[in-house]
Structure 1
Amino acid sequence: MIKLDKNESPFELPKILKKEILKSFLKIEWRRYPKEEVEVKELISDYSKSEPEGIAVGNGSNELIQAIFLGFLKKGKKVLIPEPCFPIYPWIASLLNLKIIQTPLDSEFRYDIDDLIKKAKKEKPSLIVLLSPHNPCGCEIPEDAFFKILALKDSHILIDEAYYEFSGKSFKDFLGNHKKLIILRTFSKAFSIAGLRAGYILGSPEIIKIVENSKPPFSVNSFTINALKLLLKNRDYVKKFVEKIKEEREKLFTDLRKIGSIKPFPSSGNFILFKINKEDSSKVYEEMKKRGILLRNFDSPRLRDCLRVTVGSEKENKKFIKELKEVFNEFKKH
């Protein structure tokens, strides 16, 4: 089965790095609780060009999202999120009995900044959640619009930059002058370690303290901490992987545009959302699954006629396009 449904990296870690991680793990004491992530924070500081005291590390970005919600939002408080959105946000908001305010993306799945600003001023949410690049749609927040968002003084602003490496654009440099801004990132995508569960946030020392007090102690295990130390010291592979994925993304977008029944949307992530114009997207999903290719389908009303494909390896992408064309050719015969 070719898995193109979860935005995972198509590339496995180099074997030499895997061996180094396993070798180093044998040297630490497994009976002890994980040590503090001081060295990891220093290495993330070097990678992100941020101060160590402005960094918190978590057991995947999902844990950090939960910690942010727990730290800054009380029952009944408002959170503004885009629609559609990465489903973990409305899920956690519902669990915590928060009031969800939605700002829909426009017809081309881009941010509607006017609607966002209007609702933020009216509702005064405690937290505004934005994703750039957006998952599952791939759009980015325009920098000129971001200045308007930063002017919303009533709200903390969380920018999810899980796919930052694939866009090369970040709002990190605004942190110094905006104490309510939080940047969230993950090691799952560009670093190819989704299975190890590691993410981090960037923010003011005050924000970091609240987040770290809102998550369980020792949540990042010793193996992951050990792996992060080695990978952050030997991160040349990340740039190579990212450049290859970006190259394949552009080829995949071009190939999708050539299929008449499909409209792909521009993406700055490691995935592409595409709309199916003449067929039922669920039928396309099931037919592709029968052919050994998993895609992401959606329950959201806005995305019912859409599927999302992760950018795979060159071989996987060629197989995906070939099978997708055959599926549509089969539909035409009936």
Structure 2
Amino acid sequence: MIPVRDDLRALEGYHSAQVDVRVRLNTNESPFPPPAGFRDAVAAEVSRVDWHRYPDRAATELRQAIAALHGVDADQVFVANGSNEVLQTVLLAYAGPGRTVVTFEPTYQMHAQIARVTGAAVVEGDRGDDFTLDPSEVERVLAEAQPHVVFLTSPNNPTGLVEPRERVEQLLALAPGLVVVDEAYAQFASWSALDLVDETRPLVVTRTFSKTWSMAGARLGYLVGPRWLVAELDKVVLPYHLDAVKQIAGCLALRYSDEMNDRVDLLVSERNRITAALRTLPIEVFDSGANFVLFRPHSVGGRAVWQGLVDRSVLIRDCSSWPRLENCLRVTVGTPEENTEFLDALAETLASAPATTNDSGTAAANDSAVPADIPTA
């Protein structure tokens, strides 16, 4: 057996519990499929693909469509296979051995994971008990680490917190390197850092088609940034990395902006309903600007609540073993019917579960053998 790199031995791959349930609210996907018209249009366009030819390496049409959506130029847009590949490409270009990446925990764990895979050192700043980011902590971490790349996730995953504009501006003022604002859930939030992107700032904003555009199965993501930065990414991205079908699907999805915005409005309304209902229970609830809600039961262990929900055929995300998130659970906003079923199952679980702070409940489907879940984008 050939040993893996020494710096990778302590890392684990991505894992997420897969349990056969009726209501699946654990991975922050859209609960709705794409519009029927989208499916038909993709099928028609794919039938005309020249399969014996490589796809457009520059993904010209897709980049132009995304640029038009955000009011920028196509050469400010980079596209890849999901936002995680976008992040990986950025880190291959700007992190790596001898360089430092900063995150503020708890946050999306793939930022640190991918950074370490590239060989970079990772420095973790701390959020407060309410998961907000204190300006003095930002100043301390940046002054000590002098990072080449800083990540900020807004809305933050798994907490749901929307970072204030002044926090992004503070990072831009103090960071000696690149600032990456991960906006996988931005459509559900009250503001975006996209209007801060220009040629003078080392800032990129990353997005995904997985959530709002109901395309988690396609794996398509992008960033918007300065032209000079986007040009540098071509040095590390693989040739023809984005297939023809994905480029077609991305272009066609953007034609359904009105339908997607209607869905966002519905999901935000449902998120507010879930939050209000949770606050009537013995539960600590954290404000969210995303399509999920993080909460912590007061008198019942998070793992026990997770198991009780699984027993009632409802699956949410167990965050109770993640650092700083003891006893916390995260529920994705589903359809109105799914959300009602979740709330009913949760109320039953809390009413029937013995009060305990011990979070070592038995896992379903032998999930105790599965490494701790990593938050998904």
TM over 0.5: yes
Query: Partner of 2:362 in structure 1?
Result: none
Q: Which residue of 2 aligns with 1:28?
A: 49
Residue 155 in structure 1 maps to residue 177 in structure 2 = yes
User: How many angstroms does 1:92 deviate by?
Assistant: 1.1
- Out of 176, 188, 203, the position equivalent to 1:181 is 203
State how far apart, in whole Å, the 1-side matches of 2:135 and 2:110 are: 22
Higher helix share: 1
Counterparts in 2 of 1:314 and 1:20: CA distance versus 1, 3 Å: same
Matched position secondary structure for 1:303: coil
Do the aligned partners of 1:63 and 1:215 also contact (CA within 8 Å) in 2? no
Residues 297-322 of structure 1, C-alpha deviation per residue, up to 9 Å, x if partnerless?
12322112100000011000000000
* Partner in structure 1 of residue 12 of structure 2: none
Q: 2:187 aligns with which of 161, 165, 185?
A: 165
Distance in 2 of aligned mates of 1:307 and 1:331: 16
Match of 1:8?
29
* 1:80-119 to 2 correspondences below 5 Å: 80-119=102-141
Q: Which runs of 5+ in 1 are unaligned?
A: none
Q: Tell me, what secondary structure is at the counterpart of 2:174?
A: coil
Structure 1 109/236 Cα, relative in aligned 2: closer, same or farther at 3 Å?
same
> Which residue of 284, 297, 312 corresponds with 1:263?
284
Q: In structure 2, the residue corresponding to 1:179 is in which secondary structure? A: coil
The residue identity in structure 2 corresponding to 1:210 is E
Q: Where in structure 2 are there 5+ consecutive unaligned residues?
A: 1-20, 357-377
Once the two structures are superposed, the pairs formed by residues 1-334 of structure 1 within 5 Å of their partners are 1=21, 2-35=23-56, 36-176=58-198, 178-260=200-282, 262-298=283-319, 299-332=321-354
RMSD of aligned alpha carbons: 1.5
Whole-Å Cα distance in 1 between the matches of residues 266 and 55 of structure 2? 35
Measured in 1, the distance between the counterparts of 2:251 and 2:120 equals 37
Contact 1:56-1:212 within 8 A present in 2 as well: no
Following superposition, the deviation at residue 144 of structure 1 comes to 2.4
Following superposition, the deviation at residue 154 of structure 1 comes to 1.0
* Deviation for aligned residue 1:332: 4.5
Q: Distance in 1 between matches of 2:212 and 2:136?
A: 32
Aligned residue for 2:181, secondary structure, equals strand
| Structure 1 residues 106 and 153: alpha-carbon distance in aligned structure 2, compared to 1, 3 A threshold | closer
1: CA distance, partners of 2:83 / 2:175: 25
**Cα deviation digits, residues 180-222 of structure 1 (max 9, x gap):** 1111111111111011010110111111012232221222221
CA distance in 1, matches of 2:135, 2:297: 26
Output the amino acid matched with 1:43. A
CA distance in 1, matches of 2:65, 2:335: 29
- Whichever residue aligns with residue 194 of structure 1, its letter is A
SS at match of 2:317: coil
One-letter amino acid matched to 1:189: K
- Percentage of matched positions with identical amino acids: 29
Higher deviation after alignment, 104-113 or 169-178: 169-178
Residues 142 and 174, structure 2, Cα contact 8 Å, conserved in 1? yes
Give the partner amino acid of 2:112: P
List per-residue Cα deviations over 1:74-108 (Å, max 9, x = no partner): 21311110111212112112222321111111111
1:252 is aligned with what amino acid? Answer: I
Structure 1 partner of 2:17: none
CA distance in 1, matches of 2:345, 2:164: 35
Q: Distance in 1 between matches of 2:333 and 2:193?
A: 24
What is the Cα deviation at residue 178 of structure 1? Answer: 3.6
Report how far residue 175 of structure 1 moved. Answer: 1.5
Distance 1:26 1:177, change over 3 A: closer
Aligned equivalents of 1:233 and 1:271: distance in 2?
A: 26
Q: Which amino acid aligns with 2:213?
A: F
Of 184-193 and 283-292, more deviation after overlay is shown by 283-292
